[in-house]
Structure 1
């Protein structure tokens, strides 16, 4: 099946470049010049991945990304000229899976797209497999090989969230909202403590996955592909 990629950018030259590059690589390219047009297109077309600019009239890229996260389970790459750390943090808080700044090499965008599509296929069922580690999201069970591992609920939910989208960076604030809810009274150090515990519990599984600290942003889980 050919992958359908949605390009959302108010710059027609960027859309033309990506239409050529992605079409040459076998993708079906859908285009929208702003967030509102993208939202309407998502309602009627099948989309497997979205490449989204931030600075657009009307609905900007952050708003569109939040809408995609609420209604669709597809990977998002932000492709933007906004390169400051605060912009990246806002992008990941909005739910983007990856962030690429302009000017960019189209080949790098292709590499990132393929990696994201591969990772999303890893979690298409209720059981997530990370090498020898399997996470049964419905049954709340984790196995390393044949060994059953019991985790406290918050640790299970945190690991499941990270593993559901390998490679996606989650900020601490985002993880608190997802795992502990928005009215949680603690602070972001709670996330650090739980990450530390997960790393200790799965210290012998580093050939299967690792939880990486992204300085200034948060955490991501990386699957070791072998």
Structure 2
């Protein structure tokens, strides 16, 4: 599932992105309303977490834009806790409203509840050739054989599976799995992909994790 976080407090945005990625989601982050609008206009999201007080465009304005484009679930996350603010948000079409400070476990529960309600349901099990990735149970197997992965390996595999067939850049993978931007000389992603391949690809056929030289990585099965 692909989520957008629009939050101008950098530490809060980083905290949210890290927790959501570790919970199996793909996450984009915008630190102001103008960047948020750009993401909303350029990509489709399964859910958007939105602050109210934002530079550039505020949350109310972004919510109106979101509703003009469709029915993507929106969770307001804001320090504005007055009753009239909550009512305004819900009247404008927000699906939920959580006041700061908040517990991440509560936010995660609300996110999952909204995704269950929404038109797009989170895929619980990915099956690609003989690879099976069970998101809820956090289990991976090939050919019926269980494979033990670290949290980061699972997040990397989940990202690749959730965007099957897409070529994902090293920068995108680093931002989604580790919530990092990194120098081009860093080989962190290559090392992680190599370790993941050693567990889920090297001992098996067909090969599912593909390197697109100079671009990034792709997970897909050959045509039947």
TM-score by length of 1: 0.52
Counterparts of 2:65 and 2:44 in 1: how far apart (Å)? 16
Q: Where does 1:144-223 land on structure 2 (aligned, <5 Å)?
A: none
What's the CA shift for 1:54?
Answer: 0.3
Deviations 1:87-143 (A, max 9, x none): 1111112210000000000110110011111111389xxxxxxxxxxxxxxxxxxxx
* 1:6 equivalenced with 2:4 (yes/no): yes
| Aligned positions, number | 121
Q: Where does 1:69-84 land on structure 2 (aligned, <5 Å)?
A: 69-84=67-82
Residue 77 of structure 1 contacts residue 99 of structure 1 at CA under 8 Å; is this kept in 2? yes
Counterparts of 2:120 and 2:40 in 1: how far apart (Å)? 23
Counterparts of 2:120 and 2:30 in 1: how far apart (Å)? 28
Residue 32 of structure 1 corresponds to: 30
More displaced stretch, 84-93 vs 98-107: 84-93
Match of 2:53 among 34, 52, 55: 55
Counterparts of 1:75 and 1:13 in 2: how far apart (Å)? 24
Match of 2:13 among 9, 12, 15: 15
Residue 63 of structure 1 contacts residue 94 of structure 1 at CA under 8 Å; is this kept in 2? no
More displaced stretch, 38-47 vs 87-96: 38-47
Deviations 1:160-201 (A, max 9, x none): xxxxxxxxxxxxxxxxxxxxxxxxxxxxxxxxxxxxxxxxxx
Residue 116 of structure 2 corresponds to: 118
Counterparts of 2:52 and 2:81 in 1: how far apart (Å)? 11
Residue 39 of structure 2 corresponds to: 41
Counterparts of 1:26 and 1:95 in 2: how far apart (Å)? 26
Residue 46 of structure 2 contacts residue 120 of structure 2 at CA under 8 Å; is this kept in 1? no
CA RMSD of aligned residues (A): 1.5
Larger RCO (CA within 8 A; separation ≥ 6) = 2
What's the CA shift for 1:72?
Answer: 2.4
Counterparts of 1:57 and 1:43 in 2: how far apart (Å)? 18
Residue 78 of structure 1 contacts residue 91 of structure 1 at CA under 8 Å; is this kept in 2? yes
Q: Where does 1:129-144 land on structure 2 (aligned, <5 Å)?
A: none
**Aligned partner of residue 121 in structure 1, secondary structure:** coil
Counterparts of 2:105 and 2:42 in 1: how far apart (Å)? 29
